[in-house]
Amino acid sequence: MHIATCVWQEKAAAADMGGGGGGVGAGKRKRKGEWAALAAAAGGALNCAVSFVVFSALDVLDVVLCLVYKLVDYAVEAEWKACYCAAAARGDGAAGPRVLAPPGPKVVRLSASSAKMQLEDVSDTLYVRPSLLADATKKAGPAPPALTVSPAIAEMIRGKIDRPPRPSPPRQAPCWSDCDCKVCHAWSAAPRSATHLYVHVQAPPAPVPGEAAEDVVFIHGFISSSVFWTETVFPAFSAAARGRYRMFAVDLLGFGRSPKPAESLYTLREHVEMIERSVLQRYRLGSFHVVAHSLGSVLALALAVKYPAAVKSLTLLAPPYFPVPESEAGAATQYVMRRVAPRRVWPPIAFGASMACWYEHVSRTICLTICRHHRVWDRLFRILTRNRVRTFLIEAFMCHTHNAAWHTLHNIICGSAARMDAYLDVLSSQLSCKVAVFHGRDDELLPVECALAVGARVPRARVTVYDRKDHITIIVGQEELFAAELEAIWRSAAAD
């Protein structure tokens, strides 16, 4: 099996090799290193310059698209769609509290008693996204955003935000800019489907006599779906594993075949509650293993902390964990947003993440172009490749709404910045489950330092790095290898 050594061992080996070499060969290597450093510096400067121009233009374009979409929304659906542009801080970057205009129902949430407003579930990155120029000229020191909400606004949204214990079916009519095909909108067929996630279940065909089946919950990452698992590692499991484990792969709220309610804020609480209702309660899981990729790692940690006695093992792939420096503690969500989406044109995956994270209406245009027409893209890929490659990733990456992707990105990855340390501390000190962390060395979206940071926070975690693998190929392309790794983790957890 070709798996890179543990990161800690690898770093120690690199340190040992650092002192070797000498003579002419060492001199040549030094000169090459100097030229490489100079080229890297020049490339970095060019990247910064081009990025400043491109993202300054996108700042303007997003404002224009805001007006365009408001007019089109009103013309097509006879209502003005709320957006976060009016709530964004437009100050001069000076330190001190920022007072925002009343933002509307999507930004605030009432407490259970309806006596005060709560923002704990909602990331301030939704409505505080300074332009590149404002960000470059602001004074030192983070300024946490403040928010004021008038009593009239609070009264107006009371009915929307205060929901009954079992939510009523969400609004089923898709927005004009969202896809309404059977894959994306199948949840509207029945009332029960509207309150539960789509779950792919692979159960043992013939349970082993005298041996109870173990349960495994698979949670996908951002702009993905359950097919990320069912089309890759599920077929790669051994016959013994398929006969022993009952596997659940969910489509998260707003993605794949799951409900995509227009009024949802797609907060951590909503995502976790839907997993509880759709998997843990519906199938009566008393104990289970969890396998999660990217953004799903945050939800996996939340489940582990909430059900400490139930989780047998926790496997995290490319977890989005960025330790927040003390100097940024007052604006942790903003720090994580800048790390996940650095507003750079290179590498391409960072450019795509930046457009999706910083620009509400540019990202809606991307969803309109790609997600709403995913059936066209699927047919095109099949024609171009003559069906020589599987196109399941089209469904995985394109079957969601802009509303779901926008809120999930901000409220889970950025909004959980302050919670991740607490989750990992609980995992380290209070939970005894097996913890395994995997990362691709060539991951340009979430660098390998994220896995290192998790390993430093949870010393018992086994951190493994795959050579020549990135955010997707950590699974795709080495399915049998990774399936064998998972089986070994589960067997080890059962033996303890």
Burial of 146 (0-12, 13-18, 19+ CB in 10 A): middle
pLDDT of residue 451: 97
pLDDT band at 390, cuts 50/70/90? Answer: low
Lowest-pLDDT range, 69-78, 98-107, 410-419, 431-440?
98-107
pLDDT of residue 209: 64
pLDDT band at 17, cuts 50/70/90? Answer: very low
pLDDT of residue 272: 96
Residue 278 · residue 197 · CB < 8 Å: yes
Pairing of β 462-466 and β 434-440: parallel
Q: H/E element holding 275?
A: helix 268-275
pLDDT band at 149, cuts 50/70/90? Answer: very low
The chain-wide mean pLDDT, for the chain, equals: 82
**In angstroms, rounded to a whole number, what is the distance separating the alpha carbons of residues 266 and 390?**
30
- Give pLDDT tens digits for 454-483: 999 999 999 999 999 999 999 999 999 999
pLDDT of residue 39: 87
pLDDT, mean of residues 425-440: 96
Task: Give the tokens for residue 248.
Answer: 């659940």
**This prediction's pTM:** 0.85
* Amino acid identity, position 439: H
Residue bearing tokens 């951002």: 222
> Active-site residue numbers?
220, 294, 443, 471
* DSSP assignment string, 161-187: HS--SSPPPPP-SPPTTS--SHHHHGG
Residue 95 · residue 141 · CB < 8 Å: yes
Is the confidence at residue 417, as pLDDT, over 80? Answer: yes
- Give pLDDT tens digits for 322-364: 999 999 988 999 999 999 999 999 999 999 999 999 999 999 9
pLDDT of residue 55: 96
**In angstroms, rounded to a whole number, what is the distance separating the alpha carbons of residues 181 and 399?**
10
| Assigned architecture for domain 182-495 | 3-Layer(aba) Sandwich (3.40)
Residue 439 · residue 448 · CB < 8 Å: yes
Task: Say what angle helices 348-358 and 23-77 make with each other, to 10 degrees.
Answer: 30
Edge-to-edge strand ranges of the sheet holding 311-317: 199-202, 245-250, 214-219, 288-293, 311-317, 434-440, 462-466
Per-domain residue ranges of the chain: 82-161, 182-495
